[in-house]
Amino acid sequence: MGILFGGKSAEHEVSLQSAKNVIAALDKDKYESVLIGIDKTGRWYLGKNLEDLAVALDGSKAGLGRLLEIIEEKKIEVVFPILHGPYGEDGTIQGLLKLANIPFVGAGVLGSAMGMDKEVAKRLLRDADIPIAKFKVFLKSERKKINYEKIVKEFGLPLFVKPANLGSSVGVNKIKNRQDFVKAVKEAFLFDRKILVEKAVESREIECSVLGNEYPLASLPGEVIPARGFYDYEAKYLDKRTVLQIPAKLPKKIIRKVQKLALKTYKVLCCEGMARVDMFLQKDGEVLINEINTIPGFTNISMYPKLWEISGLCCAELLDKLIKLAFQRFQDEQKLRTSR
Mark whether 293 is an active-site residue: yes
Round to whole Å and give the CA distance between 292 and 277.
5
Do 221 and 327 belong together in one domain? yes
Looking at residue 42, its pLDDT comes to 81
What are the phi and psi torsion angles at 287 (to 5°)?
-115, 130
Cα separation, 81 vs 87, in Å, equals 11
The predicted structure's pLDDT at residue 70: 75
Q: Is residue 126 part of a domain?
A: no
Domain boundary among 60, 83, 104: 104
The verdict on 321 and 274 lying in the same domain is yes
In this structure, are 76 and 34 located in the same domain?
A: yes
237 is catalytic: yes
* pLDDT attached to residue 229: 60
Residue of 112, 219, 290, 293 marked active site = 293
- The active-site residue, picked from 37, 63, 88, 297, is 297
Whether residues 189 and 225 fall in one domain: no
Can 11 be counted among the known catalytic residues?
yes
Q: Is residue 71 part of a domain?
A: yes
Question: Pick the catalytic residue: 66, 204, 276, 329?
Answer: 276
Looking at the fold, whether 55 and 81 belong to one and the same domain comes out as yes
CATH of the domain at 296: 3.30.470.20
pLDDT string in tens for the chain (340-residue length): 999 998 888 888 889 999 999 999 999 999 999 888 888 888 888 776 666 544 445 444 446 676 777 788 888 999 999 999 888 999 999 999 998 899 999 999 999 999 999 999 999 999 999 999 999 999 999 998 899 999 999 999 999 999 998 765 778 999 999 999 999 999 999 999 999 999 999 899 999 999 999 999 999 999 999 876 655 555 555 556 789 999 999 999 999 999 999 999 999 999 999 999 999 999 999 999 999 999 999 988 899 999 999 999 999 999 999 999 999 999 999 999 888 8
CATH number of the domain encompassing residue 64: 3.40.50.20
Amino acid at the residue 192: D
- Domain for residue 114, yes or no? no
**300 and 225 in a common domain:** yes
Note whether 233 and 319 are same-domain residues.
yes
Q: Is 80 exposed, middle or buried (0-12, 13-18, 19+ CB in 10 A)?
A: buried
Q: With a threshold of 0.85, does the pTM exceed it?
A: yes
Domain extent at residue 311: 204-333
Has residue 116 been placed in a domain? Answer: no
Q: Which of 143, 261, 268, 273 is nearest to 207 (CA)?
A: 261
Catalytic (active site) residue 300: no
Q: What's the pLDDT score for residue 168?
A: 55
Q: Are residues 19 and 96 in the same domain?
A: yes
The residue from 149, 168, 199 where one domain ends is 199
In a domain, 118, yes or no: no
Q: Are residues 192 and 227 in the same domain?
A: no
- Does 83 share its domain with 10? yes
Q: Is residue 111 part of a domain?
A: no
Q: Are residues 178 and 259 located together in one domain of the fold?
A: no
Q: Examine residue 148 and state whether it is found in any structural domain, yes or no.
A: yes
> Does 297 qualify as catalytic in the annotation?
yes
pLDDT of residue 58: 45
Catalytic-role residue among 91, 291, 302, 329: 291
Last residue of a domain, one of 199, 230, 256: 199
Q: Which candidate in 237, 273, 302, 304 is catalytic?
A: 237
Identified catalytic residue from 9, 18, 112, 168: 168
In a domain, 125, yes or no: no
CATH number of the domain to which 138 belongs:
3.30.1490.20
Our count of domains for the chain comes to 3
Same domain flag for 10 and 39: yes
